[in-house]
């Protein structure tokens, strides 16, 4: 069975997200660890987390894919802001211990004029600071569309970060909208793109997928998500993904512009597409 779900609100706690996921036919989900446009985080609730961990195991959920705040830029040019972003990363990874053996995904950041090499060095430093030995969490670098000064728009940049950190606790989350907008043609050559990823990064580092269609054409470097089958990627691309021998085994997270009923329909549609 596919491990597929969507982004859910964490406002009512971890157990509430498990219950919502089950209602819409999901067996994984994503959630923001704190305000996605800010820094505030929910109060920690050990009892709620314990109930959620037990329910996830009972109902056979796959790995969850938590998401760091969009405002957490580990390679901003201002040192004070960069240090604050690193403190958020450290706190998020500490909090993830309450939901052990899951994933924490984040946007690598934007170097805002410092240059790619400087930005990558700063991201590496932050990850080395935050990844404490023994933390039961794997950090995922999200593939980006490469707009502006974004880092993570190429597989080579992701490889540089991974090599710099030098830890098995760092992997990659491939976003279908982002890689297509970034110039990797998963519509016409999915296996070729995966072969390139394997050659540069290694498929063993690919841990999860964000499933999003795109409002923009190939290599547009713009990053605007669309509902599955309604954008430039088209239904056949997602049919290929959910039947791919490598990709279909990974957690598949929808981040399409939907409310819960829309996500429920897309989850059911992806399951129907899966014939292998």
Catalytic residue among 181, 255, 263, 266: 255
Residue range(s) defining the domain that contains residue 182: 4-273
Q: Is the pLDDT confidence value at 276 over 80?
A: no
Percent of the chain residues past pLDDT 90, beyond the cut: 95
Instruction: Reply yes or no on whether 142 is catalytic.
Output: yes
Report whether pLDDT(36) > 90. Answer: no
Q: Indicate which residue of 7, 34, 95, 107 is catalytic.
A: 107
Kindly report the CATH number assigned to the domain that includes residue 154.
3.20.20.150
59 tagged catalytic: no
| 225 a catalytic residue | yes
How many domains are contained in the chain? 1
- State the catalytic residue, choosing from 95, 184, 225, 266: 225
Using one digit for the tens of pLDDT, what is the confidence trace for 108-152? Answer: 999 999 999 999 999 999 999 999 888 999 999 999 999 999 999
**Per-residue pLDDT reduced to its tens digit, 153-171:** 999 999 999 999 999 999 9
Active site residue 175: yes
Say which of 92, 142, 150, 213 is annotated catalytic: 142
> Catalytic one among 178, 181, 184, 266?
178
Which of 210, 213, 263, 266 is the catalytic position? 210
Whether residue 259 lies in the annotated active site: no
Q: Is the pTM of this model over 0.95?
A: yes
Tell me the average pLDDT across 221-232.
96
Is 135 one of the catalytic residues?
A: no
C-alpha to C-alpha distance for 264 and 276, rounded to whole angstroms? 21
pLDDT per position as a tens digit, 40-93: 999 999 999 999 999 999 999 999 999 999 999 999 999 999 999 999 999 999
103 is catalytic: no
Known active-site residue 111: no
Among candidate residues 70, 78, 117, 191, the one labeled active-site is 70
Measured distance CA(17)–CA(31) in Å, rounded: 9
The answer to whether the beta carbons of residues 18 and 12 sit under 8 Å apart is no
Q: Mark whether 266 is an active-site residue.
A: no
pLDDT of residue 134: 86
pLDDT of residue 39: 86
The whole-number pLDDT of residue 37 equals: 83
């Amino acid at each position: 069975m596919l491990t597929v779900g969507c982004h859910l609100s964490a406002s009512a706690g971890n157990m509430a997200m498990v219950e919502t996921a089950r209602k819409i036919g999901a067996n994984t989900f994503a959630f923001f660890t704190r305000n996605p446009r800010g820094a505030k985080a929910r109060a920690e609730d050990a009892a709620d987390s314990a109930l959620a961990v037990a329910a996830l195991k009972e109902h056979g959920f796959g790995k969850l894919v938590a998401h760091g705040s969009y405002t957490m830029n580990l390679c901003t040019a201002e040192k004070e802001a960069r240090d604050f972003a690193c403190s958020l990363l450290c706190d998020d990874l500490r909090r993830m211990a309450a939901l052990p053996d899951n994933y924490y995904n984040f946007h690598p950041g934007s170097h805002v004029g410092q240059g790619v090499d400087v930005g990558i060095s700063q991201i590496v430093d932050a990850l080395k600071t935050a990844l404490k030995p023994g933390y039961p969490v794997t950090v995922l670098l999200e593939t980006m569309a490469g707009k502006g000064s974004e880092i993570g728009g190429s597989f080579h940049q992701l490889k540089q970060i991974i090599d710099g950190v030098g830890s098995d606790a760092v992997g990659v989350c491939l976003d279908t909208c982002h890689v297509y907008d970034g110039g990797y043609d998963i519509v016409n050559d999915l296996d070729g793109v995966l072969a390139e990823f394997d050659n540069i990064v290694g498929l063993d580092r690919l841990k999860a997928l964000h499933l999003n269609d795109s409002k923009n054409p190939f290599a547009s470097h713009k990053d605007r998500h669309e509902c599955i089958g309604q954008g430039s990627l088209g239904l056949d691309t997602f049919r290929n993904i959910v039947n791919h021998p490598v990709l279909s085994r990974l957690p598949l997270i929808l981040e399409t512009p939907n409310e819960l009923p829309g996500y429920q329909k897309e989850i059911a549609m992806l399951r129907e597409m899966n014939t292998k």
